[in-house]
Each structure stands twice: as C-alpha cells, then as structure tokens.
Chain A
C-alpha cells in the first residue's frame, strides 16, 4: 500500500514537474528559411549540385513539413566540378567527374531562395557578404543572406553555421586567432548581431552548434602510428610505433632532438597522406616523413618529423599535418566556447540550440545502423561522408543528420514532424546525371590529393583571405623547410 502510494505521489510529482517546465513556443512552420554554410547547402564531394542539394538538411526538413522550398539548384557536374571515386585498385583515387562545371537551374526565381546557405560562410558572412564565389549563385546580388532571409518574413529559421570559423585550424595544424580561426570576441559579436536581427514575435527556429572536428575524416583517417598497407598498426613487442613529429612548446623533443615520437592523443591530418607534386607525386608519409628508420630504412626521408603548422608574419600560413594534444584541446575548448555563444544567442532571441558537437560525439565511434546496414564515419567506405571529402557529408550523412535534427525539433517543441526516409539516401546511387560526366585522366593518388588539400583551404579560408597558404612540401624532397608558397584565391568568391 505504501509502495503504491509512493508510486502515485512520484507520478504526480513528475507530471507536475513536467507541467512546470515551460515548453518552447509552438513553432509556426508556414514559412521556413535556412541560413547556413556548406552543411546547410548540401555541399559534398567538393561541389554544390542538385543531386546533393536534394538531400540538404533544410530541404529534407522542408519536405517533411510539406513546404514549397526553393533552393539554388545547380546541374551536374556541379560548381565547382564534383569529385567522384575513380578507382579502388591499385590505389584509392578521386578526381573530378568532368572538365566542365554545372549551371544554376533555378536562377530565375524572382524571390530569394528559401535555402540561403552558402558554402564557406562564416558567421560574419551571413550579414556582411553579398557576393563572391558560390555566394553569387545563392544570393544573386540581392543583398546579404540575412537581409534576404528577413525579406521572406520567415516564421521558422535554421542557422547552420557549424564550422568555418574554426576549421582552418585543424586543417593547418594550429590554432591562432585571426589566422586559422575567427577570434572568439568577433565570433560572439557577429553571432549575437545576426541572432538579434532574426528575433521577431512569432518566429522561432534552431541554431545549430559547431561540430566536433575530431569526428571528421580529416583527423581520423590517418592513425598517429606506423601502419601497413591495409592501415593496420604495425606492432613491435605488441606495441604500436608512434609516428615522429618535431615536438612543440608543450611536448618538446628530449634533448632538442629534431624528431621524436608523437605523444598519445596527437592527431594527424589527411594532408600527411596527400601526394604532392613537389614530392614526386608521393605523400609525406610515402617518402618517410614521420616514420622511424628502424621500421622503414629504405624510405628516403625516414626519421624526419612530420611538419607541425605555424604562422610566419605577416601573412604566411605554414600548413602542418599534426595537432599535438594541447592543440587538440585548444581547438576543442574553442569549439565549446563558440557553442556557448550560440546557445546563449539562441536562448536570448527565441530560438533553440541543437548540439551538433554532441551528435558527433555520440555517434562518431559507433556509427549508425538501419535494418542491418552499418554507416560509419570511415573515410571512403563508411558512407557518412561524401566521396573523398574529409569534412562534408554524403546524401546518406545529411539525411541521418537531419533525422536527428527533426527528432530534436519534435522534442524541443512538442511537434510531430515526420522523420525522413533514410532508405531513399541509402539506396539511391549518388552518380551524375547521364551525359554530364567526362572524367579526366585518372589522378592515381591515394586518398587525399594535393588538389583536395588545397581545395580544403579554399573552402575553409583564413579570416584574412590574403594570407598565403604553404603546403609542407619542397622542390627539394630532402627538406621541407623550403616549402613552395601557394596563394589560394578565395574560390567561393569566384563562380
């Protein structure tokens, strides 16, 4: 009897507590507009193209809401030209599917697009940028994304600015405000300003937080230990052999040695495996950088360290391929700080906050299973990320991501937006439309090409686009000190 009473009282308390928690305002989905970056645009495989845009998060969400939702669709072979897997054997290689680019197919829409996500956009671009690169395709000279969004008088908004303000840091191998990341103060000011501009009576939506970069193939595909051709760690005495790095201030090499084993927790970027012309078409690892000579004495650069990133004033970014544990921690701390800003901005302006970082952490190692089909973050074979793309999602990945977002919306707002059909992404081959390909001669490179590496910094540019990006290779493969300087134009500003 006592137990029954206790249960009754407990149940009543739970109900009372639930009633006391103020539910988020019931959203009005009648006019939905999306602001964002490449993740919001459905960018993948190095391009924006209709067959990917159909699976953009905003488009799927709008479809589930039953809305007319206009996007800046682009025909095959995409802008820039899409990549595809060209071969698995004898080596894994990716390359462009054509020598041409696609064209906008919805450019005559008189009003602004409902999906105003622009690949490459940082938070400042949402309010400040009106042209350049893919912004020309999306914004069409009609003003900033923010102003166009407001002109549509939306009732529900998603803002998917999830990484461009920080992604240059892991790509270049170091975090330096104003060089590889947007300073937190500037990020805070810009985010708050955009959020405040979006605030309106009866309007709500979701601000998506910055993701966990440690879940990206950019940082997970290469193990920080010596591996064999299949990627399996080589063991000596049952222990893996760490790759070599130059050390840094926090983890200096003993006795000032030029190279020493990477400490546990160090991440190696895909750049270490990118074949470079300056290395005779081989990668840093391929010629022996980072590999102890005791393991591979025949490699010409064995025993030499993989490069860490640095900045040479006034404007040279020396790209590295290592993130030492303190750098990993610093980037992680910054992302969390950025997410605190986003969360606060959402709460202050009538929006809710979606924890993109937590989503990545929760599923990064376990992946996803649908009816016995396993989807993982594994590069090339996992299915979650697109062809040869170290950062952007595949159609499958975007669908799974927006499924989580929809479940979050339903939970946050008490709505019942139907979940999307993941099977349509799982079983729809992501191949170019017939007649739109013309695959160029195969670039027989392994995994991540030099072009892919450069394209990364075109997508994720330093805060100052005039900075020079220097890849860690040399005309003289004996040393990486005299690396060639590559000036990377801000491609998104050139259609």
Chain B
C-alpha cells in the first residue's frame, strides 16, 4: 500500500528539482526557520501578514489571496551570503586564541507562487518554498590524518570537528491553499503543507591514542538521508480583515510538522599512523552503510500584523511572529543495528518572538521600501555549538519595486547582524567561545498577471 505513494512522491520531487534549484540555507533567521520568501515582503522587514497583496501571500498570509482577482504567478529567489562567521575559542576547550571560521558561500532559496481565482469569492494558490533550512559548515572541517602516532593534529583542523563539521537540513514545502472572501472586508484561507526534507550531519570521532595519551581522529562519520523518502504533513491558515482600504489586520498560522527521517550512516576510518591502534580501530569500526533514524518536530508559528495606509501613498506595517520552538527538545539519532552509537543531544529550545516594522512609499508604478526587525533566538546559550550557534539578531532591509497591472519586478536587500554570542561560560558540548555572525540576503521576484 505504501509503495505507490512513495513512487508518487519521487515524481513530485523530480518535478521540484526541475523547477527549483534546491539548496540548504544557513541558519540566519531565528533557529533554522527561514522567512525571506518574497522580495517585496523582505523589503518591508518581512512585516507582511497584514499586507499580503501579492502571490507571496501564500507564504505570509494566504488570506491575502482573497483580494487577488487574476491568475498570477511569481517566481523569485533569495541569495543568502554569510559575510561574517567567526568563532574565538576560550578555555578550557578549545582554548584561548583558537580561531575558527564558518564556511562562507552563497545559498540560493528559490520560490514559486501561483494564484488561480476559482470563483469571485474563492481563490486557489500554490506555493513552493523552503521554510526550514540549515547549513552550518566550518572551514578546515576535514581532518589532517597525520603520518605517525606522534604527529599532532594539524592546528588548521577545526577544533569542533568531534561535535559537528557540517550540519545540513534541507526542505521543500509544497503548499496548496484555498482562500474565501465572503465579504469585501474579510477573507480567510486554509491550506495543506507537505514538507520534504533531508538531514545531513558530519563529524569526526576521536579516541585517546594510548601510545601518546593524546587525542587522535580515528573516523569520519557521515549521516545522510534522502529528500524524497522523508516527508511530513501539516496545514496553514490565515485571516485578513480590511475594513477600509487604508487599514488591515492579519493573522497567519502554520502547524507543526513532524518528520521521521530514515537514512544511512557511513564510517570512514582516519588513520593515525600507528598500525596497532589503526588495526584495533578497524576491527571495531562499523563496515559499510548502516541505517540511521532521527526525527525533527518543526514548530508551529503564528504571525500577527497590522498595516495602515497614510497620505501620499505611504504604508506602515507592523508584525509580531511567534514560533513554538519548545518543540525542539532533543536531537536523537538512532542506529538500529549498531549498539552504543546512538546520539541524544538535549536542545531545550524556547519559544521565540520576532518584531517587525516595514514602510513602503509608492510613486505611480515605483515603490521604495524599508524595514527593520528584531528576531530573538530560541536557542539557549548552553546549546550553542559547532552544530548550530544562534543568537538574537537585528535586520535592516531596503527594497525597490516596479509594478504594472500585468507584471512586476521586485528587488530587496537585507543585512542581518547577530548579537555577539558569548558561550565562554556555558556550553553543553564543553566547546567554549564567542561567535560573531552577519549575513546579507539579496532577493528578487518576477510577477506575471494573466
């Protein structure tokens, strides 16, 4: 009974791959939630739940589809670039003066939205986006193997490699929604959300070399799951009230989605140069690929916003977003056919709020936007580590748009500055230090109306 369904999902995923270039995103929004899925919204600091007047409303508040009376399609993408990602170590580990750098590259997050009016009151929308993603990768993450038992580990090797060298969560949400506008001043919407996701974790394993009483790398462990085999279901809803054209309030909700992952684990030996030790490690290291299981409870979220139109075509939008991150209590990685290798990492995240404000000024077909938001981290300081180090952050945005009734183009940019994360006194990994991070996100979108 399950086999046909799996085949169907594989076809869907092939379709997705053809439509968008899937890539993981660094954990720049709160936790590993990503909201930069509309260039116009991003220009307004993502305070868009009460605006929601373009196809990206499917993501921000699907009730906004109620006011969209044409077939419309919007494609876009945001490009996230880490501009700062540094770690300075502290005692007792990895030690004062130890510096590490997060891997810097640009991550692409494509989006697609389509809106189809079915009746004068009912619209259908389809959105494809990545609401949750993580790519926390470190430079010099791979290890120096050494040539003999007395060779110290290369100082260029990442000191947190025994916790995590590379942590990746990728996801694709396919979000069909229906909106209903019973009266001109009010609309609501309900949708389904199927999320495909994969996780990947890499780290090294250490032992004490008993010939030197010092630490050596003996294995590289890579856990990987397949995107098409792991998915979960949820739903979303929204309401938008616009009693007069100059004022609106909106609320959007996305449910939790739990995904049980099944993947494979591979153990590659790293040789120390000591034949006796290497022989013993080889005899104990699992051979080939082994099944591995984990699960993530992606949290539900609520967005509450209000927008007011002012004279001279100014619009001001305010929003508060709440995410129930307390669902992320632990990361449990289970090896069903291996004993003693399960990993249980307490997360104990806390619910978080983000506060957003956006401003838009229009001149005929042109629009200029500014925004700011403060996003509070759900991650306790003690939980920060090589697998993910998150902190409160401030974002400053600017955007420009040109829109005709038939098409429109939007570009925007967001600069994200993290508060310096001081984990010099508490770390559940006993990996002490400070993290400094900043990122820039550029986004564009093209809208066609039919």
Contact = CB atoms under 8 A, between A and B. Distances in A.
Contacts of B207: 381
B279 interface: yes
Given A372-B160, A429-B214, A430-B212, A419 B279 contact: no
Contacts of B429: 369, 371-372
A353 interface: no
Contacts of A374: 206
B95 to A, nearest CB: 4
Contacts of A430: 212-214
Given A371-B160, A426-B93, A431-B211, 20 more contacts: A88-B280, A369-B430, A371-B163, A371-B429, A372-B206, A373-B162, A373-B215, A381-B207, A381-B210, A387-B210, A387-B213, A395-B213, A396-B213, A403-B92, A421-B92, A423-B89, A423-B93, A423-B159, A424-B95, A429-B150
A428 B214 contact: yes
A372 B98 CA distance: 16
Contacts of A382: 208
A420 B92 contact: yes
B210 A422 contact: no
Interface residues of A, number: 38
Contact of A370 (B93, B150, B152): B93
Interface string A79-91: 0000011011100
B153 interface: yes
A420 B212 CA distance: 21
B298 interface: no
A92 to B, nearest CB: 8
A85 B276 CA distance: 12
Contact of A421 (B96, B208, B210, B386): B96
Interface string A214-250: 0000000000000000000000000000000000000
B276 A87 contact: yes
A130 interface: no
Contacts of B431: 370-372
A154 B429 CA distance: 38
Contacts, number: 107
A182 B213 CA distance: 33
Contacts of A84: 211
Contacts of A403: 92
A383 interface: yes
Nearest to B215: A426
Nearest to B152: A427
29 contacts: A88-B211, A88-B277, A88-B280, A89-B276, A369-B429, A369-B430, A371-B93, A371-B160, A371-B431, A372-B161, A372-B206, A374-B206, A382-B208, A383-B208, A386-B213, A395-B213, A418-B96, A421-B95, A423-B92, A424-B95, A426-B215, A427-B214, A428-B214, A429-B150, A429-B209, A429-B213, A429-B214, A430-B212, A431-B212
Interface in B94-126: 94-96, 98
A485 B215 CA distance: 42
> What are the nearest 4 A-B pairs in CB distance?
A372-B162, A429-B212, A383-B208, A421-B95
A394 interface: yes
Nearest to B163: A372
B372 to A, nearest CB: 31
Interface of A: 84-85, 87-89, 368-375, 380-383, 386-387, 394-396, 399-400, 403, 418-424, 426-431
A85 B149 CA distance: 12
Among B89, B211, B280, the most chain A Cβ lie within 10 Å of the Cβ of B211
Given A420-B91, A426-B93, A429-B150, A372 B210 contact: no
Interface residues of B, number: 36
A370 B213 contact: no
B374 interface: no
Interface in B110-164: 149-150, 152-153, 159-163
B89 to A, nearest CB: 8
B393 interface: no
A431 B151 CA distance: 11
B203 interface: yes
Contacts of A422: 91-93, 95
Contact of B203 (A88, A368, A372, A400): A372
Nearest to B212: A429
Contact of A371 (B208, B214, B276, B430): B430
B92 A419 contact: yes
B213 A371 contact: no
Contacts of B89: 423
B162 A371 contact: yes
A372 B149 CA distance: 21
A426 B210 contact: no
A371 B280 contact: no
A375 B209 CA distance: 12
A350 B181 CA distance: 80
Contacts of A427: 152-153, 214-215
Interface centre among A84, A372, A423, A427 (most CB of B within 10 A): A372
A373 B95 CA distance: 14
Given A383-B213, A423-B94, A375 B208 contact: yes
Given A427-B152, A427-B215, A381 B92 contact: no
Nearest to A429: B212
